[in-house]
Amino acid sequence: MKFCVAGAFVIAFSASGVVGAAQAGAKLHWTVRLNETRGPIRAADTKTPLGKEAISEILAGPTSGSDAGYVIFTRMPSGAHGPSLFTLPDEHLYLVLEGRMNLQIGTDTFLVERNGSVMIPPNTPHEVWNPGPQAEAHLEVIAPGSSRDLRSMLKSVQPHKVENAAQYVRTPRLPPEAELKAGLNGVTFAERATGGTIQMRIDSTRPGQGGPKTHVHKFQQVYFSVEGQTTVEYGLDTYPLAKYSIAIIPPGVVHTNSNKTSSAERHIVFLMPEPENRNEPFDIEFERKGAVGTQTSAAGRR
């Protein structure tokens, strides 16, 4: 089924869930698939063979379980290019999982290696492509997800200088397994202190270690497994989170995570958004107890 939208965009929806967006007279093209898995746990598609174009998969968004923004898994074959230089009204975060990614911010170009991150402020011109011989993969967040129509948020622009563009590219050092301590070993890539509203970090745990006691947040939290496997307690359920799988935890859902395997694990964490008030606790402990008892009054007994 095809729809023609008034203006510059022509959008095609197919039974396979593929969405393509193109702007007349430009190369603003983005092929996006919607992960239609229901529930809080979804696995990214890593098995569909790549052609010549980049393919993005919306793992969660305002219409599919993530009220706080879009979480997108993208794979780019060698030589593939994302949408040409564009802006978004939202923050746009990248974290490279495999290969290398070229990035243009304004008029400056950067090479982002594996475990390198980017935080693009709203209305900042940028684009990405894969210059290397190997396929590239990265995780993206577009937040706060100001439109339920992702295609309408992209605006093609001409390049112009962005002052101090290098500040938006960061590659913190991840501790090797031999240096991991008890509990969570967190490395922060983006946060309010670096100019954004979303906290993005990688947490690493040794076997038998994990997060805090079961707790809740006032904000949405997302886990995305990148190495090994963590186990997520979500409400009354427990899920193993395999590599390249996502867990979406809405505000108020009781949860924690732990490493029940015999090897180290790493997972990306997003706080969407990171709270502004640092004096309030991020984690609010929530103790699970037994079944609720039923009391019957004498008058109600038969």
Q: For 183-230, what is each residue's pLDDT tens digit?
A: 999 999 999 999 999 999 999 999 999 989 999 999 999 999 999 999
Looking at the fold, whether 218 and 161 belong to one and the same domain comes out as no
Bridge partner list, 39: none
Residue 235 in domain:
yes
Q: For 270-283, what is each residue's pLDDT tens digit?
A: 999 999 987 888 88
Looking at the fold, whether 136 and 186 belong to one and the same domain comes out as no
**Tokens representing residue 152 in the block:** 């309408």
Looking at the fold, whether 143 and 191 belong to one and the same domain comes out as no
* Cβ–Cβ under 8 Å, residues 228 and 266: yes
Amino acid at 51: G
Looking at the fold, whether 115 and 138 belong to one and the same domain comes out as yes
Looking at the fold, whether 39 and 139 belong to one and the same domain comes out as yes
Q: For 279-295, what is each residue's pLDDT tens digit?
A: 888 888 888 787 887 66
What mean pLDDT comes out for the span 145-162?
Answer: 95
Element (H, E) at 228: none
Domain count for the chain: 2
Q: For 27-71, what is each residue's pLDDT tens digit?
A: 678 999 999 999 999 999 999 999 999 999 999 999 999 999 999
Report the greatest alpha carbon distance in the chain.
81
Chain centroid to CA 255: how far? 18
First to last CA, the chain: 62
pTM (2 d.p.): 0.88
**What confidence tier does 296 reach under pLDDT thresholds 50, 70, 90?**
low
From 259, 195, 199, 198, select the one nearest 229 (Cα to Cα).
259
Residue 55 in domain:
yes
Chain centroid to CA 162: how far? 25
Residue with tokens 């203006």: 7
Residue 300 in domain:
no
The pLDDT of residue 288 is 79
From 119, 118, 53, select the one nearest 82 (Cα to Cα).
53
Starting at the edge strand found earlier in the chain, the sheet holding 117-120 runs: 2-4, 9-13, 18-23, 29-34, 55-60, 70-76, 136-143, 91-98, 117-120, 169-170
**Residue 8 belongs to domain spanning:** 2-170
Q: What is the CATH number of the domain that holds 204?
A: 2.60.120.10
* Cβ–Cβ under 8 Å, residues 237 and 54: no
Q: For 226-249, what is each residue's pLDDT tens digit?
A: 999 999 999 999 999 999 999 999
Looking at the fold, whether 101 and 143 belong to one and the same domain comes out as yes
